[in-house]
A = this chain, B = another copy of it.
Amino acid sequence: MPENLRVSSRPRVTLRDIAAHAGVSRSTVSLVMQESSLVAESTRQRVRDAIDALGYVYNRGAATLRSPRTATIGVVVHDIANPFFGALMAGIDETLQDADYVPFLASSGDSLARQARFLARMREHRVDALLLCPAEETPASLIETIADWGMPCIEVMRHVGPSPLGDYVGADLRTGIANAVRHLIALGHRRITLLAGTADHSADRERLAGYRQAMHEAGLDDLSRIVRGPLTRCAGREITLELMRGDDRPTALICHNDLVALGALLALSHLGLRAGQDCAVVGVDDIDEAALTDPALSSIATHPRSIGRRAAELALKRIRTPDGERERIVLDAPLMVRASSQPSLARPQESP
């Protein structure tokens, strides 16, 4: 290993040094750093040369002290280990990089305390905006509190309260689920079970609403059944095993997300049942695996990367125009029909 000789207290290059080297004032250099159009092209070039020559590093901390902009954004998700949020974050990151913004990231783990702590930190760092997928049980007042702080906040995928108060970007799961139910009904299914989560947040309520609505439309209210459990592959498997062992078995399952749906597929194959033939399965998110399982999994596509991009774009816009009209961007969540709910494989399970 090469010796780690650190030049103790190397004199730091500042705006002042650049100004001296380029023969202009500090103000001018500052304007160049801000890409201001006020500076004459020739001067700008001279300053740029000085910056390169001296190896100047812009000190954003110092800049922040005077100006309100920090070129940073805070992102809160509830579990970054979940591939859905990984993809979401990738979309956010992509958009922010183009705008020279950098994101702070935190996983709340659906803990209100962790979420609050991180938000406090974001305030201290004076981020320009917040992208928030609120933790379960987040009180509706939080959004107002954040607004009081003067910090733009975009809710992503979930929102507190019955409908988004401010800016929001999400997927139209209500319609997505309703369409899935209609699709299954068209295939002859009647006993359609919804595997939902145990938590009570908007994304969960929307799924429920879509399910109820479509079942109701078809006059199947009495057959509607909702089963709650953890949202993991394992839980999906266990719950499905149990469901299929009962007498009143469903002929179709709509799962809260693809992880649960993959668990359901495992359970079916374990029981010697063929998904799509003996029991239809539909997931949510359309993660990469979905197309590659056997049989391939029908899934409602939520396009996390696009949602991330849209959310980040909206945040940047809100930073530019803090008092602009609030926006609610709800992306389509189309059903990707695959073998696990294939028409050709369907057969009526019972007459209505």
Contact = CB atoms under 8 A, between A and B. Distances in A.
Interface of A: 1-2, 4, 6, 10, 57-62, 64-65, 70, 72, 79-83, 85-87, 89-90, 93-94, 97, 100, 102-107, 114, 117-118, 121-126, 144, 147, 150, 165-166, 233-234, 237, 262-263, 266, 269-270, 288-289, 292, 294, 305, 322-323, 326
A139 to B, nearest CB: 15
B144 A2 contact: yes
A61 B326 contact: no
Given A105-B103, A165-B1, A61 B65 contact: yes
Contact of A57 (B94, B124, B234): B124
A292 B269 contact: no
Given A83-B83, A117-B97, A126-B61, A6 B292 contact: no
A14 B266 CA distance: 59
A17 to B, nearest CB: 16
Nearest to A127: B102
Contacts of A294: 266, 269-270
A81 B86 contact: yes
5 contacts: A4-B147, A59-B124, A60-B125, A90-B107, A97-B117
B64 A61 contact: yes
Contacts of A79: 90
Contacts of A326: 1, 4
Given A61-B125, A70-B61, A166-B1, A102 B118 contact: yes
Given A60-B125, A102-B121, A147-B4, A87 B93 contact: no
Nearest to A93: B107
Given A62-B65, A289-B233, A292-B237, A86 B93 contact: no
Nearest to A269: B294
A106 B114 contact: no
7 smallest CB-CB distances across A and B, nearest first, come from A61-B64, A86-B86, A81-B90, A105-B105, A81-B87, A60-B124, A58-B124
Given A70-B61, A80-B86, A266-B292, A102 B100 contact: no
A289 B289 contact: yes
Given A65-B61, A70-B61, A292-B237, A82 B86 contact: yes
Contacts of A1: 165-166, 326
A57 B87 contact: no
A16 B245 CA distance: 69
